[in-house]
Amino acid sequence: MPLRLNVAAVSDAGAHRPTNQDAAFAASWGAAVADGVGGGPSGDLASAALIHRLVATRGTEMDADDLLVRIREANWDIRAHVERDPALQGMATTFTGVFLAASGDLLLAHTGDSRAYLLRDGAFSRETRDDSYVQALVDHGIIPPEAAAAHPRRNIITASLAGAEGDVVSVAERRPTVGDRWLLCSDGLTDYVPEADVAQLVADAPDPQAAAASAVALALEAGTRDNVTVVVCDVVDDDDRGGSEPVFFGSATRWFAEDVQTA
Protein backbone atom coordinates (compact mmCIF):
# COMPACT_ATOMS: atom_id res chain seq x y z
CA MET A 1 0.00 0.00 0.00
CA PRO A 2 1.45 3.43 -0.94
CA LEU A 3 2.22 5.73 1.95
CA ARG A 4 2.20 9.46 2.50
CA LEU A 5 3.11 11.81 5.29
CA ASN A 6 0.55 13.78 7.26
CA VAL A 7 2.73 16.73 8.27
CA ALA A 8 2.46 19.87 10.36
CA ALA A 9 5.09 22.38 11.45
CA VAL A 10 5.40 25.37 13.75
CA SER A 11 8.31 27.82 13.86
CA ASP A 12 8.84 30.70 16.29
CA ALA A 13 11.70 33.19 16.51
CA GLY A 14 11.45 33.14 20.30
CA ALA A 15 11.68 36.05 22.69
CA HIS A 16 15.45 36.57 22.49
CA ARG A 17 16.26 36.52 18.77
CA PRO A 18 15.40 39.36 16.37
CA THR A 19 15.40 37.04 13.34
CA ASN A 20 14.18 33.50 12.79
CA GLN A 21 17.11 31.63 11.25
CA ASP A 22 15.22 28.32 11.15
CA ALA A 23 13.55 27.18 7.93
CA ALA A 24 11.25 24.23 7.34
CA PHE A 25 8.90 22.71 4.81
CA ALA A 26 6.09 20.17 5.02
CA ALA A 27 4.57 18.08 2.22
CA SER A 28 2.98 14.66 1.80
CA TRP A 29 6.22 13.30 0.28
CA GLY A 30 8.75 14.83 2.66
CA ALA A 31 9.58 17.35 5.35
CA ALA A 32 12.68 19.00 6.76
CA VAL A 33 14.09 21.54 9.18
CA ALA A 34 17.23 23.64 8.69
CA ASP A 35 18.79 25.87 11.34
CA GLY A 36 21.06 28.71 10.21
CA VAL A 37 24.32 28.42 12.10
CA GLY A 38 24.48 30.91 14.94
CA GLY A 39 27.29 33.42 14.92
CA GLY A 40 27.66 33.33 11.16
CA PRO A 41 26.33 35.84 8.65
CA SER A 42 22.86 35.40 7.21
CA GLY A 43 21.96 32.07 8.74
CA ASP A 44 18.37 32.77 7.75
CA LEU A 45 19.40 33.05 4.10
CA ALA A 46 21.43 29.82 4.27
CA SER A 47 18.60 27.77 5.76
CA ALA A 48 15.97 29.21 3.43
CA ALA A 49 18.13 28.81 0.31
CA LEU A 50 18.79 25.16 1.11
CA ILE A 51 15.14 24.33 1.79
CA HIS A 52 13.78 26.10 -1.28
CA ARG A 53 16.35 24.64 -3.66
CA LEU A 54 15.77 21.15 -2.33
CA VAL A 55 12.01 21.44 -2.78
CA ALA A 56 12.29 22.99 -6.23
CA THR A 57 14.39 20.08 -7.53
CA ARG A 58 12.59 17.23 -5.81
CA GLY A 59 11.14 15.55 -8.93
CA THR A 60 8.42 12.95 -8.48
CA GLU A 61 10.38 10.00 -7.09
CA MET A 62 13.80 9.54 -5.53
CA ASP A 63 16.20 7.07 -3.98
CA ALA A 64 19.09 7.68 -1.58
CA ASP A 65 21.51 8.61 -4.36
CA ASP A 66 18.99 11.04 -5.88
CA LEU A 67 18.49 12.69 -2.51
CA LEU A 68 22.23 13.10 -1.96
CA VAL A 69 22.55 14.73 -5.38
CA ARG A 70 19.69 17.10 -4.62
CA ILE A 71 21.14 18.06 -1.26
CA ARG A 72 24.49 18.69 -2.96
CA GLU A 73 22.78 20.89 -5.56
CA ALA A 74 21.00 22.80 -2.80
CA ASN A 75 24.33 23.25 -1.04
CA TRP A 76 25.77 24.72 -4.23
CA ASP A 77 23.05 27.37 -4.02
CA ILE A 78 24.54 28.49 -0.71
CA ARG A 79 27.96 28.72 -2.36
CA ALA A 80 26.49 30.72 -5.26
CA HIS A 81 25.12 33.31 -2.83
CA VAL A 82 28.55 33.66 -1.22
CA GLU A 83 30.26 34.00 -4.59
CA ARG A 84 27.86 36.81 -5.51
CA ASP A 85 28.32 38.55 -2.16
CA PRO A 86 31.60 37.79 -0.30
CA ALA A 87 30.14 39.41 2.84
CA LEU A 88 28.12 36.21 3.23
CA GLN A 89 31.26 34.07 3.59
CA GLY A 90 30.74 31.68 6.49
CA MET A 91 26.97 31.35 6.28
CA ALA A 92 25.86 27.78 6.89
CA THR A 93 22.95 25.65 8.05
CA THR A 94 22.11 22.36 9.67
CA PHE A 95 19.68 20.04 7.91
CA THR A 96 17.44 17.16 8.98
CA GLY A 97 14.71 15.73 6.76
CA VAL A 98 12.60 12.69 5.96
CA PHE A 99 11.51 11.77 2.43
CA LEU A 100 9.45 8.96 0.93
CA ALA A 101 11.48 7.00 -1.61
CA ALA A 102 10.33 5.28 -4.78
CA SER A 103 11.22 1.94 -3.16
CA GLY A 104 8.74 2.49 -0.34
CA ASP A 105 11.54 3.24 2.12
CA LEU A 106 11.78 6.42 4.13
CA LEU A 107 15.03 8.37 3.66
CA LEU A 108 16.44 10.17 6.71
CA ALA A 109 18.96 12.90 5.84
CA HIS A 110 21.01 14.70 8.48
CA THR A 111 23.91 17.02 9.21
CA GLY A 112 24.47 19.25 12.23
CA ASP A 113 22.57 19.29 15.51
CA SER A 114 18.95 19.50 14.43
CA ARG A 115 17.36 16.18 15.34
CA ALA A 116 14.93 13.50 14.23
CA TYR A 117 12.98 11.34 16.67
CA LEU A 118 10.70 8.40 15.97
CA LEU A 119 7.66 7.31 17.97
CA ARG A 120 6.77 3.73 17.02
CA ASP A 121 4.50 1.43 19.03
CA GLY A 122 4.88 3.64 22.08
CA ALA A 123 8.71 3.69 21.99
CA PHE A 124 10.37 7.07 21.44
CA SER A 125 13.93 7.09 20.09
CA ARG A 126 16.43 9.61 18.77
CA GLU A 127 17.27 8.67 15.18
CA THR A 128 20.10 11.14 14.50
CA ARG A 129 23.46 11.76 16.13
CA ASP A 130 24.42 15.38 16.78
CA ASP A 131 27.42 16.56 14.79
CA SER A 132 28.67 18.65 17.68
CA TYR A 133 31.61 19.23 19.99
CA VAL A 134 29.60 18.16 23.02
CA GLN A 135 28.41 14.95 21.35
CA ALA A 136 32.05 14.09 20.69
CA LEU A 137 32.77 14.60 24.40
CA VAL A 138 29.92 12.22 25.24
CA ASP A 139 31.08 9.65 22.68
CA HIS A 140 34.56 9.63 24.20
CA GLY A 141 33.25 9.30 27.74
CA ILE A 142 34.59 12.71 28.78
CA ILE A 143 31.19 13.90 29.99
CA PRO A 144 28.03 11.89 30.78
CA PRO A 145 25.06 12.24 28.40
CA GLU A 146 22.99 14.04 31.03
CA ALA A 147 25.59 16.84 31.18
CA ALA A 148 25.38 17.62 27.47
CA ALA A 149 22.28 19.84 27.59
CA ALA A 150 23.86 22.28 30.06
CA HIS A 151 27.39 22.30 28.63
CA PRO A 152 28.54 25.87 27.82
CA ARG A 153 29.87 24.77 24.40
CA ARG A 154 26.82 22.75 23.38
CA ASN A 155 26.12 25.01 20.39
CA ILE A 156 29.43 24.30 18.64
CA ILE A 157 28.69 22.04 15.68
CA THR A 158 31.21 19.98 13.73
CA ALA A 159 29.27 19.56 10.47
CA SER A 160 26.93 21.76 8.47
CA LEU A 161 26.11 22.77 4.90
CA ALA A 162 28.03 25.87 3.86
CA GLY A 163 28.43 25.43 0.12
CA ALA A 164 31.77 23.61 0.31
CA GLU A 165 32.58 20.46 -1.67
CA GLY A 166 33.69 18.75 1.51
CA ASP A 167 30.43 19.28 3.38
CA VAL A 168 29.03 15.98 4.61
CA VAL A 169 25.43 14.80 4.98
CA SER A 170 24.26 11.29 5.82
CA VAL A 171 21.26 9.57 4.24
CA ALA A 172 19.86 6.42 5.87
CA GLU A 173 17.13 4.15 4.53
CA ARG A 174 14.38 3.17 6.96
CA ARG A 175 11.36 0.94 6.49
CA PRO A 176 8.31 3.04 7.42
CA THR A 177 5.29 1.62 9.18
CA VAL A 178 1.80 3.08 9.19
CA GLY A 179 1.37 4.74 12.57
CA ASP A 180 4.98 5.95 12.84
CA ARG A 181 5.30 9.52 14.07
CA TRP A 182 8.48 11.43 13.23
CA LEU A 183 9.51 14.62 14.97
CA LEU A 184 12.13 16.90 13.39
CA CYS A 185 13.33 19.90 15.37
CA SER A 186 15.94 22.59 15.75
CA ASP A 187 17.99 22.76 18.93
CA GLY A 188 15.79 25.55 20.25
CA LEU A 189 13.61 22.69 21.48
CA THR A 190 16.09 20.05 22.60
CA ASP A 191 18.52 22.42 24.35
CA TYR A 192 15.73 23.54 26.70
CA VAL A 193 13.20 20.70 27.00
CA PRO A 194 14.16 17.24 28.33
CA GLU A 195 13.72 14.39 25.87
CA ALA A 196 11.36 12.63 28.26
CA ASP A 197 9.01 15.61 28.17
CA VAL A 198 9.16 15.75 24.38
CA ALA A 199 8.43 12.03 24.20
CA GLN A 200 5.37 12.35 26.42
CA LEU A 201 4.03 15.30 24.48
CA VAL A 202 4.48 13.59 21.11
CA ALA A 203 2.80 10.42 22.34
CA ASP A 204 -0.16 12.26 23.83
CA ALA A 205 -0.89 14.65 20.94
CA PRO A 206 -3.90 13.65 18.82
CA ASP A 207 -2.39 14.83 15.52
CA PRO A 208 0.78 16.38 14.05
CA GLN A 209 -0.47 19.97 14.34
CA ALA A 210 -1.20 19.58 18.03
CA ALA A 211 2.17 17.88 18.61
CA ALA A 212 4.16 20.58 16.81
CA ALA A 213 2.29 23.46 18.45
CA SER A 214 2.59 21.95 21.92
CA ALA A 215 6.30 21.27 21.53
CA VAL A 216 7.06 24.84 20.45
CA ALA A 217 4.88 26.21 23.27
CA LEU A 218 6.77 24.04 25.77
CA ALA A 219 10.12 25.34 24.52
CA LEU A 220 8.94 28.94 24.82
CA GLU A 221 7.62 28.25 28.32
CA ALA A 222 10.99 26.73 29.24
CA GLY A 223 12.66 30.01 28.27
CA THR A 224 14.40 28.96 25.06
CA ARG A 225 16.86 31.62 23.98
CA ASP A 226 16.93 30.35 20.41
CA ASN A 227 14.56 30.05 17.49
CA VAL A 228 12.47 26.90 17.81
CA THR A 229 11.02 24.86 14.96
CA VAL A 230 9.19 21.54 15.18
CA VAL A 231 7.95 19.41 12.30
CA VAL A 232 5.79 16.35 13.02
CA CYS A 233 5.09 13.69 10.38
CA ASP A 234 2.63 10.79 10.70
CA VAL A 235 3.06 7.91 8.26
CA VAL A 236 -0.37 7.03 6.83
CA ASP A 237 -1.86 4.94 4.03
CA ASP A 238 -2.45 6.70 0.73
CA ASP A 239 -3.81 5.53 -2.60
CA ASP A 240 -2.62 8.66 -4.41
CA ARG A 241 1.11 9.45 -4.44
CA GLY A 242 0.59 12.55 -6.54
CA GLY A 243 1.81 14.57 -3.58
CA SER A 244 0.97 17.97 -2.20
CA GLU A 245 2.53 21.35 -2.70
CA PRO A 246 5.02 22.14 0.07
CA VAL A 247 4.22 24.61 2.83
CA PHE A 248 7.11 26.71 4.15
CA PHE A 249 7.89 27.95 7.65
CA GLY A 250 10.37 30.22 9.41
CA SER A 251 12.89 32.04 7.23
CA ALA A 252 11.69 30.07 4.19
CA THR A 253 8.48 32.13 4.25
CA ARG A 254 10.52 35.34 3.79
CA TRP A 255 13.10 34.22 1.23
CA PHE A 256 12.48 32.92 -2.31
CA ALA A 257 8.85 31.86 -1.86
CA GLU A 258 7.87 33.45 -5.14
CA ASP A 259 10.55 31.46 -7.00
CA VAL A 260 9.54 27.93 -6.02
CA GLN A 261 8.73 25.62 -8.91
CA THR A 262 7.86 22.03 -8.04
CA ALA A 263 8.24 19.40 -10.76
Q: What is the pLDDT of residues 72-116, one digit of tens each?
A: 999 999 999 999 999 999 899 999 999 999 899 999 999 999 999
Q: Give the 3-state secondary structure of the chain.
A: CCEEEEEEEEEECCCCCCCCCEEEEEECCEEEEEEECCCCCCHHHHHHHHHHHHHHCCCCCCCHHHHHHHHHHHHHHHHHHHHHCHHHCCCCECEEEEEECCCCCEEEEEECCCEEEEEECCEEEECCCCCEHHHHHHHCCCCCHHHHHHCCCCCCECCCECCCCCCCCEEEEECCCCCCEEEEECHHHHCCCCHHHHHHHHHHCCCHHHHHHHHHHHHHHCCCCCCEEEEEEEEEECCCCCCCCCEEEEHHHCCCHHHCCCC
Taking 50 as the threshold, does the pLDDT of residue 154 lie above it? yes
Closest C-alpha among 24, 9, 26, 27 to residue 238: 27
Taking 80 as the threshold, does the pLDDT of residue 253 lie above it? yes
Weakest mean pLDDT among 140-144, 158-162, 189-193 = 140-144
Task: Say what the pLDDT of residue 262 is.
Answer: 39
Task: Say what the pLDDT of residue 240 is.
Answer: 57
Residue 120's pLDDT band (boundaries 50, 70, 90)?
very high
Average pLDDT over residues 12-20: 92
Task: Say what the pLDDT of residue 245 is.
Answer: 82
Residue 69's pLDDT band (boundaries 50, 70, 90)?
very high
Taking 80 as the threshold, does the pLDDT of residue 141 lie above it? no
Taking 70 as the threshold, does the pLDDT of residue 152 lie above it? no
Average pLDDT over residues 33-49: 87
Taking 60 as the threshold, does the pLDDT of residue 241 lie above it? no
Residue 160's pLDDT band (boundaries 50, 70, 90)?
very high
Closest C-alpha among 55, 38, 36, 45 to residue 85: 45
Task: Say what the pLDDT of residue 172 is.
Answer: 97
Q: What is the pLDDT of residues 193-230, one digit of tens each?
A: 999 999 999 999 999 999 999 999 999 999 999 999 99
Residue 238's pLDDT band (boundaries 50, 70, 90)?
confident
Phi, psi (rounded to 5 degrees) for 258: -75, -10
Average pLDDT over residues 247-256: 90
Task: Say what the pLDDT of residue 80 is.
Answer: 95
**Which domains are present in the chain?**
3-259 (3.60.40.10)
Average pLDDT over residues 47-67: 86
pTM of the model: 0.91
Phi, psi (rounded to 5 degrees) for 41: -75, 140
Task: Say what the pLDDT of residue 263 is.
Answer: 36
